[in-house]
Structure 1
Amino acid sequence: MKKNDLTRIILLITSLLMLVIGFVMSKSNIEILILGILAIISLVVLDRQASDIVKLSKNNPKVKTFRFLNMFTLLIVVLCFILALSSSDNQVSITEDNKILIIGLMSAFMMTFANSSPKIPFNRYLGLRLPWTIRDEETWKIAHRLIGYLSFPIAIIMFIMSFFFDGNIVGIVGILTWVIIPSIHSYIFYYKRLKGLN
């Protein structure tokens, strides 16, 4: 069995276990612990197999970007895990008491991702993974370049708006805007490119 096949099997099993546990178990510390461990396992596997996944040498700067974002995501998962365990309802939710902290963390994540987004190598595991972005490398590049451009303004607007509006609405609108605009733009690009190739 190839290393890449084993990586896919491990990631598929951990993802399925996370889904099943998320739907079946009641909200408890045990569920959060299991989900956190499975997420960490997935991210560690991705990190260890980074150069094989993106089909580039270990010293390639794009592999370093992939590994950096993967480790950054691992840090965010661990932070969410700690926040969930420390909250009374075992969830990471935005309340009036913590909305500046949560929106601030979301904004920091977006800005960090923005800086590295255009450098993410074409892959199926990390980045804006949509049917059209994982089929065409040029579409992938367009989508991630646009994410890079949008991230700073959206993150700053989100943070400022969190002082005046409900944190949940600010967070949802900010994340949806951050994802939907590059998704639609990259789909239009892919569709036009596909028509041009036929």
Structure 2
Amino acid sequence: MINENIRNARKKKGISQEELAIELNVVRQTVSKWEKGLSVPDADILIQIADLLEVSVNDLLDIKPQNDDVENIAAELAHLNEQLAHKNREKALYLQAEKKRGLILLLSFMAMLITINIKNEILSIALTGGCMLAALIILYRNLSLLTKITTENMKIGTLKVTTLFNMAVLIFAVMIAIFNEASFIRLSESGEQGLALAVTCIIMLFGGYISPKLPFTRHTGLRLPWTVQDEETWNIAHKVIGFISLPLVLLYLAASCTINNFEAITLAVIFLWIGIPGLISFVFWWKKLYGKH
């Protein structure tokens, strides 16, 4: 790259950035930006640099020998400027995305601390729910940034619907928990089980509908160590969720009507809902990764 070529030629010549800057009638910071790849000199300056460092312009541009006329040099520098601008945009977007991810992680960590340390149940539920809702709002507002899926892509709509559904479930769960704790509503044991059954079935049915449509992303979906490493493995896992969700919901409803241990049934169904696609996708990933060796 031109920045490394300028730096190497300058050092080989045995002059400092300050000395080169004085000869070119620019400030030292300008030379530093060239050598860091933050900007490139224009054609006239580049010719001067080549003369001062006793190298060819082609060597600085790292291109095959051609006429060292200003027009050719300017065209090559324009191309380099375009590449540099793209690189800087990508870097800025990456840093912005990392900042948003850090904020989401911070809110999640705060929610955990609130749950552990605040003894007032209503306040704890409200603050924890608020932190998680804030994290989901940040995720929703920055889906395109975090997933690198453009707003024109139809798949961004799937992610938005999924995130909105997650918000709705979270708000509903927080409200029910607060109302129940504040004695605004009193659910019997059968009522609590019925509500839990309904919510679980809705989540599973929605998951079965939306999962096969989810794009490969680290932020929404079945985020297992192997599914987030390979897009094909990701797709296998989410297609399996789409196939098994309705049968498991029907099994869940039937078992709830015939077996008394509701908690055990719920845990078993959720384990199957996550475990079956997790196991199938792991076997697929393992064979894909190590089957050829």
What TM-score, normalized by structure 2, do the two folds share?
0.63
- Answer with 11-20 or 97-106: which moved more: 97-106
1:86 equivalent in structure 2: 179
Aligned-residue offset at 1:7: 1.1
How far has the Cα of 1:27 moved from its partner? Answer: 5.3
> Does 2:198 match 1:104?
yes
**More relative contact order, 1 or 2 (CA 8 Å, 6+ apart):** 1
- Whether contact under 8 Å (2:104, 2:135) holds in the other structure is yes
- For structure 1, the 5+ residue unaligned runs are none
1:191 is displaced (CA, Å) by 0.7
**Residue 21 of structure 1 pairs with residue 114 of structure 2:** yes
Contact 1:118 1:148 in 2 (8 A): yes
Contact 2:237–2:277 under 8 Å retained in 1:
yes
1:168 is aligned to 263
**Structure 2 residue 219 is the aligned partner of structure 1 residue 133:** no
Per the TM alignment, residue 185 of structure 1 is displaced from its structure 2 partner at its CA by: 1.0
Letter aligned with residue 125 of structure 1? H
Aligned residue in 2 for 1:76: 169
Residue among 32, 38, 42 paired with 2:135: 42
Q: Partner amino acid for 1:169?
A: A
SS of alignment partner, residue 224 of structure 2: coil
Q: For 1:33 and 1:15, locate their aligned partners in 2 and report how far apart those are by CA, in whole Å.
A: 14
CA drift of 1:3 comes to 2.1
State the partner residue of 2:96: 3
SS of the equivalent of 1:23 reads helix
2:117 and 2:286 mapped to 1: Cα distance?
39
The SS at the match of 1:38 is helix
> Is 2:287 aligned against 1:192?
yes
Is this contact kept in 1: 2:252–2:269, CA < 8 A? yes
For residues 128 and 15 of structure 1, the distance between their equivalents in structure 2, rounded to whole angstroms, comes to 18
Contact 1:114 1:151 in 2 (8 A): yes
TM-score by structure 1 length? 0.92
Equivalent of 2:208 in 77, 89, 114:
114
For residues 163-189 of structure 1, give each alpha carbon's deviation from its aligned partner in whole angstroms, at most 9, with x where no partner exists: 222321221111111001111111111
Report the CA distance shift for 1:193/1:30 in structure 2 as closer, same or farther (over 3 A). same
Aligned to 2:247: 153
Residue identity matched to 1:11 = I
Match of residue 273 from structure 2? 178
SS in 1 for 2:100: helix
Bigger radius of gyration among the two: 2
Question: Is 1:124 aligned to residue 218 of structure 2?
Answer: yes
Match of residue 142, structure 1, among 216, 228, 236: 236
1:89 CA displacement: 8.3
Amino acid at match of 2:276: I
Query: In angstroms, what is the RMSD of aligned CA positions?
Result: 1.9
Q: Deviation string for 1:80-132 (max 9, x for gaps)? A: 10111122489xx9932221221111111111111110111111111111111
Q: Tell me the CA shift for residue 53 of structure 1.
A: 1.9
Matched residue SS, 1:97: helix
Looking at structure 2, the residues matched to 27 and 150 of structure 1 have their Cα atoms a distance apart, in angstroms, of: 40
Q: 4+ runs of 1 displaced by more than 6 Å? A: none
